Chains A and B, each alone.
Chain A
Amino acid sequence: MSLTELRPASHRPAPPPKKVKTRSWLYRFDNKTIPYVFISPFFILFGIFGVFPLVFNGIVAVRNWRLDDPTLTGWAGFANFERLLSDEDFWNALGNTFGIFILSTVPQLLLALIIANLLNRKLRGNTFWRIGILLPYLTPVVASTLVFAIFFARDNGMANWFLSLVGFGEETPLDWRAQKWSAWIAIATMVNWKWIGYNALLYLSAMQAIPKDVYEAAAVDGAGAWRQLWRITVPMIQPVVVFTVILSTIGGLQLFNEPMMFDENPQSASGGSAHQFQTIAQLIYKVGWKDLDLGYAAAMSWALFLIILIVAGVNTLLTRRIGGDR
């Protein structure tokens, strides 16, 4: 049964041949094949729900597939992709996605790092704080986004109430959904609120593994807390930082729920009256299920897939540079 059993070294005399063939066959099967059987469920499921849709999506992307025009079928070749390049909606959505992505990911990871650093000290009620920062992550995103949508309402919204306290917009309250900048900030706020605690916990768990004497040595050499954070902590937890950057990139570029629920009319999926905050994922949904153009939507998803690959790669390289020995 043991999988760690070493095979006999070759210079030893071979064991006498087994009398019973089947026994050895069983034994070999047990050792060689069973591990694959044990790991197969994931790969089978992944094949059905991961690989197949991906491949099928690729096929749809190079076909004409309109639900409102069933007569229009057949291969489109790369027509769908060519359309993408000249589609201003797509570029607008790309811009929004990146804008919101930068506004949400950068502050999110920085704040998470600082919070994790604070939590890494001896505090009273340590567990309470650690659980506390994870609470936003446990909130269902639709519920929290709905609350935020009301928070950022034009009339009687709490955000505008805060602004009015400092004397802003008492005459004409700010319509958060009307302008690109305000809508982006509002959506980025929702994303940050949800993910800061999650990332902070990841960082914290990595920080716990850093030996204390490193810090003590640094303190003796006269490094302050800020310097310790950037010169010791960050390089030491670098693998986790890379991990969170990749995940944030994937998540940030696939942003869908927040802009969707933030819209005054979520069902139109238009991401604002002039698509101020329509993300790519939203646009894919709109093209597929509102405009009923599945072929084009599939082409967009492939484009998004490639964009995520590239951006995640670039981010990884950049993150590797950070905290490397300079």
Chain B
Amino acid sequence: MRRTLSAVAAGLAATLVIAGCSGRDLESSNETEGGSGEQVTLKVAFWGDMGLDKLKADYEKAHPNVKIVLNTGEFNAQHEDLQKKLVAGTGAPDISAVDEGFIVQFRNQSDKFVNLLDKGAGEFESKYLDWKWKASMSADGKQIGLGTDVGGLAMCYRSDLFKAAGLPTDREQVSKLWTNWDQFIEVGKQYVAKTGKKFVDSGTNMFNPVLAQQPVGFYDDQEQLQMNGGPKVAFDVSMKAIDAGISANLASFQPNWNQGFKKDQFAVLACPAWMLGHIQETAPDQKGKWDIAAIPGGGGNWGGSWWTVPSQGKNIDAATDFVKWMVQPEQQIEVFKTVGNLPSQPDLYKDPAVLDYKKEFMSNAPTGQIFAATAANLKPQYLGKKNGPTRVAVENVITRVQQGGLKSDAAWAEAVKQAEKVAKTGKA
């Protein structure tokens, strides 16, 4: 902000705007409306579309005294907002979704969340993928969240563009084209030579899935940076892809990337289950043009989230009840069908409702089978405390190579340097 006078005026205007959309107007709805028992309003914060609209309606019907307010926002902003409200000690939502990239950060502040084990969530442990259950446990054994979805990994591709480039379009055959990443890059070269268009969206979206497939990510379970293991493998693949000229070099999830969908700037996209909702949202008119094949290099996990209950809330019990209800099989399957998020409870992978499900948007691909298979045989990866910032630092180096500011053979040394810098900060 710049000039004092205008700053004051703008500040006033801003407070009005913020007050208008901060949900403050929602807090006044706590009067009883002839319902039974105490009226409670639960605010749920998440990002994108987590398929909650129907769940909300069902739950409110069954519990007339509960009103649920959904607040969706931008992925990073929601996490930051939660962090700020936890520090402030007030203003956090009753229930907040937390992504795998942030769960470690919040797990280390377990005193600010309700320990769900105290609320009888311990009985769910056996239902969950073991690593999913552990990832939201604090060091002193408090459970701050209940898992919703896991990412799994597959490769989405545009069958119409593949056809135009003379490549096979059938799922099975496409999967056979690339059993490993080198083959994948070769296919990309063929595609580029044939069409003059780029094949993948960005080097970072090559790096992330390959990293997710490695047994050890940036950090080992001793919180030591391990750049020469998994990150090196993933980095080399992304460099190779950039040097081969198959990358459109778009920054993922940003406006240009969204444009890239519409302008056919890339033909494949590494697809965790939650990416399906993203494609649907960004390019609704490409229904039936996308399809799903296996990802080179086997299964892995990229992303997935948990429901947490910040302990500063007024309605902790009601919030916990709702979270417990949301992670029940029926609701998880409901969400899977609406947006495609894959549940994190292995029993559901055998459930016919999941196994027989075909996603119309993705050319009727059997998403249930595809993702259940990747999730069932994946080797979970430990994500360190500083996983998020480290990933950003390395992604930035990849971006610099894409922008031409850095040669690919010098890039690895730079990536190590930047990652070590992140790892070193704040070590007392």
Contact = CB atoms under 8 A, between A and B. Distances in A.
B251 interface: yes
A210 interface: no
Would you call the interface of chain A mostly helix, strand, loop, or mixed? loop
Interface stretch (B165-173, B181-189, B397-405): B397-405
A129 B54 CA distance: 54
Contacts of A64: 428
A67 B109 contact: yes
A18 B280 CA distance: 85
Interface in A288-303: 289-293
Contacts of A268: 392, 396
Given A254-B1, A291-B389, A293-B426, A154 B256 contact: yes
Contacts of A195: 2
A86 to B, nearest CB: 12
A149 B256 CA distance: 10
Nearest to B111: A70
B115 to A, nearest CB: 16
A126 interface: no
B412 to A, nearest CB: 15
B83 A67 contact: yes
A179 interface: yes
Interface stretch (B72-80, B117-125, B212-220, B234-242): B72-80
A292 B4 CA distance: 29
Contacts of B253: 265
A156 B259 contact: yes
A273 B399 contact: yes
A273 B403 contact: yes
Contacts of A177: 403
Interface residues of B, number: 42
B133 to A, nearest CB: 22
Contacts of B108: 68-70
Contacts of B425: 291, 293
Given A68-B385, A70-B108, A150-B255, A289 B2 contact: no
A68 B105 contact: yes
Interface string A260-299: 0000110110100110000000000000011111000000
A249 B388 CA distance: 34
B84 interface: yes
A197 B109 CA distance: 48
Nearest to B399: A273
Interface residues of A, number: 37
A87 B335 CA distance: 46
Contacts of A289: 80, 83-84
Contacts of A270: 392, 396
A155 interface: yes
Contacts of B385: 68
Interface string B382-414: 000110110010001101100111100000000
Residue in A72, A156, A265, A293 with the greatest tally of chain B CB atoms within 10 Å: A265
Interface string B1-23: 11110100000000000000000
Contact of B256 (A66, A155, A290): A155
A244 B345 CA distance: 62
Contacts of B224: none
Contacts of B392: 268, 270, 290
B130 to A, nearest CB: 25
10 contacts: A70-B109, A149-B255, A154-B256, A178-B400, A251-B1, A264-B399, A268-B396, A273-B400, A274-B396, A290-B389
Interface of A: 64, 66-70, 72, 137, 149-150, 153-156, 175, 177-179, 195, 198, 247-248, 250-251, 254, 264-265, 267-268, 270, 273-274, 289-293
